[in-house]
Amino acid sequence: MICQYFFGITNKEMNESKTFKNYINGQWLDASTHDTFEQRNPSRLSEVTGLFPLSSKEDTRLAIEAAQSAFTEWKILSPFARAKYLKKVLALMIERREDIAQIITLENGKIVSDSLGEIDSAIAEMEFQINEGLRLFGETVPVSIDGVFAYTVKEPLGVVSVISPWNFPFNVPVRKIIPALMAGNTCVFKPASLTPQTGYMFTKLFDEGGIPAGVLNMITGLGSVVGNILVTDPRIKAISFTGSTEVGMGIHQKASVNATRTQLELGGKNATVILEDADIDLAVKAVTRAAFACSGQWCTSTSRAIVVKKVAQEFIEKLVKATNAIIVGDGFDQNAGMGPVCGTDQFENIKKYIESGKKEGAILLAGGNEVRNNHLKEGCFIEPTIFVGVKPDMKIAQEEIFGPVLSVITVENFEEAIKVSNDIVFGLSSSIFTNNLKHAMTFVQQTEVGFTHVNLMTSLKEPQLPFGGIKESGVGMPEAGKTGIEFFIKYKTVYMKYS
């Protein structure tokens, strides 16, 4: 009240300033029903950060229609003209870096330095994918008939949908939407309901950058309503989704009805193997970072450390020490090394997994509690948690927790380490710490994942290399690298008789 009086802002005005809109055909629109949903700061659940359109099926169809109309012009534009638009967006992104980071931290909870890191990674990926879009080369191919010239061209698919998660609410849309647009497609984008304002910030850059109406449309609302139309409407030619394995598998099934192409980046249970000849300090640093950064909510987080018996004690002691040094706090607090988890569902789910670990007989060596310090008890804070003595078949060793919980599994030798690391439904990322070349090469050959690392953390990635999982971690072509844009094109083969 005092605050509102001081700034002369009424409750109504405050709500209006925090009310956001959909972006359809170059216009900012409410949901047709005017219904909204709220987003809350995971560090302080009493704080509503904004109200967002709770869009209907009809609103979603309107966005698809806008993208369909815009496709006619956008697809025949030279890639150099498309790049010109996107470079304007990129320049704005670089300019707004700090502002966008604030919104990521506000909605997701991750510490500001990690939010800035997310934007920097998005900027690097955007630069790379704009340039990839200028290299959509075809082939000329000799044929058996005299006087016939044959070649291939790469063409866009049409309207594509992008459905993104809350853990990288800025980088994931960039990774999907930039190659889609550079290839000549138009797009309807649905951000996760936990991070809609980041989706708005992203879309605003395109609006201010002067992107033609309908080329990019953004619509907020329920996954089961908006998301479902974006998956089942026959005008959608490809779906790029990042999220849970459960939702992703459902999308794969539904998309098959219209033979819609899918790119699904799903869950993970990424392992780091530590052998007896490893640089233990290096391994501890990598595992601590990859297990607890963003509260363990990277899809590439390390959630299993598989360590051989001979060095288990040293590794565990150093790991616990490093973990206990992590300061949990509000992402805006400069001293904090780890923020809250993103929302109450995550909070409750992670606590259930911690209880399950205790019940199954794993030994809790660090953390294990929600944080109850005065000002933090209002948010979704969980201590960085380590279980040791974990058996490979325990729930905490098999299921994706997506939180700051690390399971340490001790094994006899290298062979057992490989077996345990692969004995799981997921296959996103992995890593091994060793100085033995034979073990490193054998691991790389046998690890069942989309990308792996030697003496590096499971989360390391670069824009020019493919990013995606196998098994239940991914379906379709990987994102990023050359495949990032390849997913969004189709081939046309041309035979031309000239004499």
Chain residues binding ligand NAP by CB under 6 A are 163-167, 190, 192-193, 222-224, 227-228, 231, 242-244, 247, 250-251, 265-268, 299, 400, 402, 428, 469, 473
Our CA angle for 414, 419, 420, nearest 5°, is 95
Task: Report the nearest approach of ligand NAP to the CB of residue 118 (Å).
Answer: 12
Task: Report the nearest approach of ligand NAP to the CB of residue 84 (Å).
Answer: 30
- Among candidate residues 271, 365, 270, the one with its CA nearest the CA of residue 319: 365
Residues 6+ apart with CB under 8 A from 275: 308, 311, 414, 417, 432, 433, 434, 436, 439
Residue in 132, 265, 472, 479 annotated catalytic: 265
Q: Position 51: which residue type?
A: L
First to last CA, the chain: 83
- Which residue's CB is nearer to ligand NAP, number 107 or number 400? 400
How far apart, in whole angstroms, are the C-alpha atoms of residue 387 and residue 319? 11
- Which residue's CB is nearer to ligand NAP, number 150 or number 465? 465
Residue in 294, 299, 342, 380 annotated catalytic: 299
- Which residue's CB is nearer to ligand NAP, number 100 or number 231? 231
- Which residue's CB is nearer to ligand NAP, number 165 or number 337? 165
388 strand-pairing partners: 363
- Which residue's CB is nearer to ligand NAP, number 266 or number 457? 266
DSSP helix/strand/coil, 204: helix
Is residue 342 flagged as an active site residue? no
Task: Report the nearest approach of ligand NAP to the CB of residue 340 (Å).
Answer: 15
How far apart, in whole angstroms, are the C-alpha atoms of residue 106 and residue 44? 10
Distance of CA 17 to the CA centre of its chain: 28
Task: Report the nearest approach of ligand NAP to the CB of residue 112 (Å).
Answer: 20
CB 147 within 8 A of CB 498: yes
Rg of the Cα atoms in the chain: 24
How far apart, in whole angstroms, are the C-alpha atoms of residue 24 and residue 159? 14
How far apart, in whole angstroms, are the C-alpha atoms of residue 95 and residue 324? 37
How far apart, in whole angstroms, are the C-alpha atoms of residue 408 and residue 406? 6
Task: Report the nearest approach of ligand NAP to the CB of residue 190 (Å).
Answer: 6
- Residue positions counted in the chain: 499
- Which residue's CB is nearer to ligand NAP, number 220 or number 434? 220
- Among candidate residues 302, 401, 305, 312, the one with its CA nearest the CA of residue 351: 401
Task: Report the nearest approach of ligand NAP to the CB of residue 140 (Å).
Answer: 36
Is residue 265 flagged as an active site residue? yes
Q: Could you give phi then psi for residue 54, rounded to 5 degrees?
A: -90, 85
CB 88 within 8 A of CB 256: no
Around 377, how many Cα atoms within 13 Å sit in the side-chain half-sphere?
Answer: 3
- Which residue's CB is nearer to ligand NAP, number 224 or number 374? 224
Task: Report the nearest approach of ligand NAP to the CB of residue 2 (Å).
Answer: 35
- Which residue's CB is nearer to ligand NAP, number 82 or number 471? 471
How far apart, in whole angstroms, are the C-alpha atoms of residue 60 and residue 415? 51
How far apart, in whole angstroms, are the C-alpha atoms of residue 422 and residue 453? 15
Task: Report the nearest approach of ligand NAP to the CB of residue 219 (Å).
Answer: 11
Task: Report the nearest approach of ligand NAP to the CB of residue 123 (Å).
Answer: 19
CB 210 within 8 A of CB 184: no
- Which residue's CB is nearer to ligand NAP, number 244 or number 464? 244
- What amino acid positions are annotated as catalytic residues? 265, 299
